[in-house]
């Protein structure tokens, strides 16, 4: 069976990006554990680089650790940020310059596109130049590879040790809409990664069967509440977005979760 290593970005004193009360290191570890559990259920041999909130070293050191483990493939799970501007949204995949087979990236993009905006698949040369990677849908291979030094230490050191490793940037944590889009679909992000990994290695993918929890509707609250109904009521605001498309996406998620009376309201910025 395929052997994969999963790195949870950051850890210990290194919180990674931190906004709205959430730390990157906590999100990445939680997702990595869920992905590992699901992959093991499908028959994968899985190693978590860290299983607790600990600092393992810088990116290059982690890449060397992964190379020593000699897996067939590895991923480093992260969340993105734009330095607090909160203007960017969506997922990205960063892959080695010399990687030719693109099955994991192809199917992960396919899965992420169903959840939120997908930005791009790219590689980065050591001098800093970003190279967007394009996939031939018939062969599911990259249209071009590059014989250059990888910029990111974890990718570079793993690749130098014979291990292809992708950095998976799931969303932008400094964009409140992106953050809550993820939090409301976290298990779907997990399944997108699991499905992509299974299809990449031609392993039969079986979706995890979960019992969907339904939230009481406003009508059901009214039926069960013993409090005398006042002349006023209180609203719960679920999020604020710059783009109407993001607001409508959140609206649809709430409707799918059986909430009633969900609407999008335009509010001028003062």
Which tens digit of pLDDT belongs to each residue from 221-257? Answer: 344 444 444 555 556 677 777 787 877 777 777 666 5
Measured CA distances, 218 to 213, 247, 258 (Å): 16, 21, 10
Write down the pLDDT at residue 231.
55
**65 three-class SS:** helix
The C-alpha R_g of the chain, in whole angstroms, comes to: 21
**Whether 96 contacts 152, CB under 8 Å:** no
Write down the pLDDT at residue 246.
79
Query: 111: closest CA among 200, 26, 238, 41?
Result: 200
CA distance linking residue 64 with residue 160, whole number of Å: 9
Q: Is the dihedral of CA 201, 40, 58, 14 positive or negative?
A: positive
In degrees, rounded to 5, the angle at the alpha carbon of residue 243 between the alpha carbons of residues 238 and 245 is: 80
Structure-block tokens of residue 57:
């070293």
Phi, psi of 101 (to 5 degrees): -75, 135
Write down the pLDDT at residue 254.
67
Write down the pLDDT at residue 214.
43
The domains of the chain, with CATH numbers, are 3-200 (3.40.630.40), 214-270 (no CATH)
CA distance linking residue 103 with residue 95, whole number of Å: 12
Classify burial at 140, counting beta carbons within 10 Å of its beta carbon; exposed 0-12, middle 13-18, buried 19 or more.
Answer: middle
Mention every residue, 6+ apart, whose C-beta is less than 8 A from residue 148. 97, 125, 126
Phi, psi of 83 (to 5 degrees): 75, 20
Query: 238: closest CA among 187, 182, 177, 186?
Result: 177
Query: 93: closest CA among 177, 174, 155?
Result: 155
CB burial of 14-43 (b: ≥16 within 10 Å; e: otherwise) equals: eebbebeebbbbbbbbebbebbbebbeebe
Q: Which residues of the chain have pLDDT under 50?
A: 211-229
Write down the pLDDT at residue 228.
44
């Amino acid at each position: 069976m395929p052997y994969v290593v999963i790195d949870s970005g950051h850890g210990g004193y290194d919180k990674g990006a931190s906004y709205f009360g959430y730390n990157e290191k906590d999100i990445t570890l939680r997702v990595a554990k869920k992905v590992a559990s699901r992959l093991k259920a499908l028959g994968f041999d899985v190693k978590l680089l860290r299983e607790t909130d600990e600092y393992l070293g810088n990116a290059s050191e982690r890449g060397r650790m992964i190379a020593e483990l000699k897996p067939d493939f590895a991923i480093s799970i992260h969340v993105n940020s734009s330095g607090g501007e909160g203007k960017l949204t969506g997922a990205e995949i960063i892959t080695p310059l010399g990687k030719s087979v693109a099955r994991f990236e192809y199917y992960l993009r396919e899965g992420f596109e169903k959840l939120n905006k997908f930005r791009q698949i790219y590689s980065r040369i050591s001098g800093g130049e970003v190279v967007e990677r394009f996939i031939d849908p018939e062969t599911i291979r990259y249209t071009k590879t590059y014989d250059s030094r990888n910029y990111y230490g974890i990718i570079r050191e793993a690749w130098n040790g014979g291990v292809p490793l992708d950095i998976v940037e799931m969303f932008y944590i400094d964009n409140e809409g992106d953050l809550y889009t993820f939090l409301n679909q976290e298990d779907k992000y997990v399944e997108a990664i699991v499905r992509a990994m299974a299809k990449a290695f031609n392993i039969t993918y079986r979706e995890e069967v979960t019992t969907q929890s339904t939230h009481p509707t406003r009508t059901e609250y009214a039926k069960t509440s013993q409090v005398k109904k006042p002349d006023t009521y209180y609203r719960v605001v679920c999020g604020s977005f710059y783009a109407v498309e993001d607001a409508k996406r959140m609206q649809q998620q709430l409707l799918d979760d059986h909430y009633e009376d969900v609407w999008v309201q335009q509010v001028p910025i003062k």
